[in-house]
Amino acid sequence: MTAIFWRIVGLLVSACILSAQVYSPKVLRENQPDPTDLVKFADAICKNAAARTPREKAEAIWRFFLTDGRFVKPGFWYHIAGWTYEEPSGEVLDPMKLLNSYGFGLCYHIAPLLEAVFKAAGFEDARCWFLTGHTVAEVFYQGAYHYFDSDMMGYNVPAAGSFRQAPVVSVHSLEKDSNLILGKLAAPNRVKPGVVDNPWYPADVQASAMRGLSELFTTTSDNYLYPYTRYSPGHRMDFVLRPGEKLIRFFQPETPGLFYLPYKFDGTRWTEFPAEIPAYRIRTADGPRSQKDNRLWATGRIEYAPRNLPSRGTLIVDMPSPYVVIDAHFKMRLNLPSSGSSLQAETSVDGGSTWQVAGKRAGPFSGTWSTEPAVIVRSAHGRLTAVSGSYGYKVRIAVTGPASEVRDLNLVSRIQLNPRSLPALQAGANQFVYSSQAPSLRDRVSPGVALASRTDLAEVQEHGESFWLPAAHKTGTALYKLESDSGPLSGFDIGLRFLDLRNGLAPEKLTAETRPVHVNAVAGSASISWSTSERGPFRKLWHLPEKLAWRDGDPIDRLLIWPEVLRQVRDLPPDCRRLYVRVQTSGPAFDSLRLATYAPAPSPSGRLTVKQTWFEGNTHREHVQQIAATARQQSFTVKAGQQVRNESIVIAND
């Protein structure tokens, strides 16, 4: 039986080096929504808006994500096509990635993100609708679902009366009565006074296009409800800052033209994913910039100079990243004294299962040498490297030959991030809060790792998309073995998406919408369970309900039953070093596997340096704050003058 072996410590270092690690250090402005924690994020949005009732909280979250700077004050999120995409899953639907690495997207990104934030705010339920051409979110409170749309910028109430006193209606209500939208109009491009909140579909009103918007809802045959979770949970912003490592985040692109350029894979070749649209002045060379205002993306670097590492033999170094990786660069001093000496550098994005050569150097050679990950494809606006679009990789450096050695190794990952997630300085006194997490080591199993052990499952592949389907009239089983030889495990996560394909529709990774699929799909059960023994007994984590429960008593018959499932276990038996996670299905297919393990970690020691840099007019300024590595929370104040322009924030483990 093959297996997934996921090592808890991938870097060959001594215990004294491990003890100096710091776990997920972060700095936020006081009262800033924390984009690394959905519950804290949602709570801060509602608190800052003084929202108390369910309606007020739902509106606060809706307004926080409004997209278009022409009609509302530019905020956290903006609308742009073609830039929020990662192979192999396709369009990004993970809330943590959307908040932290992107901060932009289309309706099919923002609607699942709203669903996630609504749930994090404590609402009993939230869900998404696909209207064929548009995706929207609903939130459940006071016994009913209520529709809020941050992308098209509106919500609706019954036609009569003030919008403030009237309840917000559902998508199903809008399907039945076009007057709920059209009844608000005094003219094709003008709204009756006092009947809608501002903004209310401003672009569509100005373009006299509200009838077309209404028809998105009232043409019901192609409206589909996602009754289960639509967003794709599982990514975490956790990271470990090791001695000699620093996280540098800029408030803008570090250099013009630096961005994560998504590429799509059709099963044969890689091509750029963003498409240029001259009519709307959308140019790929401009990067993922807002076409409506001055909002941009930002970039950063993770720099690591490992200490006390062996200079000979084979060295493997982990380079994890909480942010999407643009590319990487490796630099070192080499001494290859003879023609029999050599060095080879490789990278792996699947936990070390496969490796790609980054560079080679033959002796004799002495001096500084640098290389970068292999380039998979070059195109008109950039390139795809072996690590682009990943959230971390391993570097393997093998040195051969007598007296050959590597010194002063420096590894750099360039990353993309959402600058509106950073703690921006403002004129005057700024209160900041530093915090870190309890010691814990998280290892993520790459989605590219093959199934560990499977029976009665077949992989269906088409145009670069794939899923696992059970054999007809059988129960397909996939068994994953998670193991540590470095210490006990303290927990694990498993996430994946189940796909009921009986209606002939499957997810389309290029659009986050639907595509036709022709497979022998049948009704059946699905479940996730785990055990400390290969033979069981297995403990059930999740199962597909036999029947949908309708909270509002209003069943919908047009469904996309594609539940996104994430289960987290933190109550493993003491000294657990091996466990088995089992996925079973007799009907639905599944894809998008996500696995991670957790292990206890040594307490931190040493100190951190937090440095904030900015400009006041043409004057460059900085504030340096020393923080003990053992500190779990610490407040400090930074004073700034007028005309503040934020440049960067750096957290370094000295």
The yes-or-no verdict on residue 1 having pLDDT over 60 is no
pLDDT higher than 60, residue 298: yes
Region 469-495: mean pLDDT is 92
Q: How far is CA 82 from CA 95, 116, 277, in A?
A: 17, 22, 11
Residue 5 banded pLDDT, cuts 50, 70, 90: very low
State the Rg of the chain over Cα.
26
Among the listed ranges 18-22, 58-62, 116-120, 258-262, which one has the minimum average pLDDT value?
18-22
Output the pLDDT for position 483. 87
- Residue 264, pLDDT score: 97
Contact predicate 348/354, CB 8 Å: yes
Bridge pairing between strands 476-483 and 453-455: antiparallel
Residue 16's pLDDT band, with cuts at 50, 70 and 90, is: very low
Query: Cβ-count burial of 449 within 10 angstroms (0-12 exposed, 13-18 middle, 19+ buried)?
Result: middle
Query: What pLDDT band is residue 446 in, cutting at 50, 70 and 90?
Result: low
Mean model confidence pLDDT for the chain? 93
pLDDT tier at 10, thresholds 50, 70, 90: very low
The model's confidence at residue 606, banded by pLDDT at 50, 70 and 90, is confident
Packing angle between helix 54-64 and helix 38-48, nearest 10 degrees?
100
Q: List domains and CATH numbers for the chain.
A: 53-226 (no CATH), 253-295+298-417 (2.60.120), 441-600 (2.60.120)
Cis ω on the peptide bond leading into residue 199 (within 30° of 0)?
Answer: yes
Is a pLDDT exceeding 80 seen at residue 237?
yes
Q: What is the mean pLDDT of residues 504-525?
A: 95
Q: Identify the residue with better confidence: 399 or 276.
A: 399
Tokens of 230: 């639509």
* Confidence at residue 450, expressed as pLDDT on a 0 to 100 scale: 52
What is d(CA 99, CA 115) in angstroms, rounded to the nearest whole number?
13
Separation of alpha carbons 555 and 80, rounded Å:
34
Position with higher pLDDT, 15 vs 268: 268
Q: 276 vs 641, which has greater pLDDT?
A: 641
For residues 273 and 389, is the Cβ–Cβ distance under 8 A?
Answer: no
In this model, does residue 161 exceed pLDDT 80?
A: no
Average pLDDT over residues 216-221: 96
Residue 485 banded pLDDT, cuts 50, 70, 90? confident
